[in-house]
């Protein structure tokens, strides 16, 4: 599992696909799994570099 570390804070992220980057930012109670559950990642990764992250 990839994590970005900055000033002692670890944030989980995922990157899939190739192409122009598109950042999927979830709402207050969400996380990266919501984007997959609602079917966004699969079609987008064919044309974009999809970046998901778990906000703090």
pLDDT in the model for residue 4: 93
What is the value of pTM for the model shown?
Answer: 0.84
Distance CA 20, CA 10 (A): 25
Average pLDDT over residues 4-29: 94
Task: Compute the radius of gyration of the chain from its Cα atoms.
Answer: 12
Whole-number Cα distances in Å, 35 to 5, 24, 25, 30: 23, 8, 9, 9
Outline where the chain has alpha helix (H): 32-37, 41-44
Please say if the pLDDT value at position 56 is more than 80. Answer: no
Please say if the pLDDT value at position 55 is more than 90. Answer: no
What digits encode the pLDDT tens for the residues 23-47? 999 988 889 999 999 999 999 999 9
46 torsion bin: left (phi>0), alpha (psi -120 to 50), beta (else): alpha
Domain boundaries in the chain? 3-53
What average pLDDT is seen over the chain?
93
Please say if the pLDDT value at position 1 is more than 80. Answer: no
């Amino acid at each position: 599992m990839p994590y970005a570390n900055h000033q002692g804070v670890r944030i989980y992220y995922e990157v899939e696909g190739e192409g122009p980057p598109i950042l999927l930012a979830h709402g207050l109670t969400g996380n990266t799994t919501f984007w997959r559950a609602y079917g966004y990642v699969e079609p987008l990764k064919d044309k974009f570099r999809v970046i998901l992250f778990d906000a703090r």
